Amino acid sequence: MSEGSFPLLGSKVASFEAKTTHGIIKFPDNYKGKWVVLFSHPADFTPVCTTEFVAFQKRYDDFKKLNTELIGLSIDQVFSHMKWVEWIKEKLDVEIKFPIIADDMGEIAKKLGMVHPGKGTNTVRAVFIIDDKGIVRTVLYYPQEIGRNMDEILRAVKALQTSDKYKVATPANWPNNDFLGDEVIIPPPGSEKEAKERLEKYGDNCYDWWFCHKKLEE
């Protein structure tokens, strides 16, 4: 991946070493076997970013249950991150437990396509969901003016892990789809023979041979 390019789905995430509020990290080496939500914010001590960090922290344990780590990033120095985290604790009574990368030279942000030329040197609100093998699985990109929905990011991690484990697809708004509820979608058949067998196998759980669904088998 070249500098300034946008990470593609299914590509290996870029490697880097960085200073964070929790010390030096080597990414993704230090996170082998873990899923990661790596996200950038425009700047410390800004209102929308503050609400986002609180929202991420409120769901910190939910991400941990999914074997998922959170990592923040902005083009600020580490002392700024530390002071901001301290302010959030003092004023909002929320302790930020995940590390924040101090990308004060902007090198990591450029490598990951987190800087928009029309927004100066600030990072935009980028989100990368990276799986336990270091593969980029989801990319979300928000303008500076719009705060993110952390429940959607958490849902995306759950959906990806479910898809990987059970070899299925998840419908819109899963697990609260308008007509399938929490059921999942069975991958399309690869042959005419398989299409006929599918209708026999799943019966009433098929709208047609190309659209079959089922409850998850835990």
DSSP 8-state symbol, 72 = E
Q: Please state, in angstroms and rounded to a whole number, the distance separating the CA atoms of residues 65 and 158.
A: 10
Q: Please state, in angstroms and rounded to a whole number, the distance separating the CA atoms of residues 125 and 109.
A: 11
Count of other CB atoms within 10 angstroms of residue 196: 12
Which residues are the active-site residues? 49
> In the block, which residue shows the tokens 């970013």?
49
Q: Peptide bond preceding 7: is omega within 30 degrees of 0, i.e. cis?
A: no
Q: Please state, in angstroms and rounded to a whole number, the distance separating the CA atoms of residues 21 and 85.
A: 9
Residue pair 180/199 in contact (Cβ under 8 Å)? The answer is: no
CA atoms within 13 A on the CB side of 206: 16
Cα distances from 57 to residues 26, 31, 40, 100, 162, in angstroms, run 22, 19, 15, 12, 23
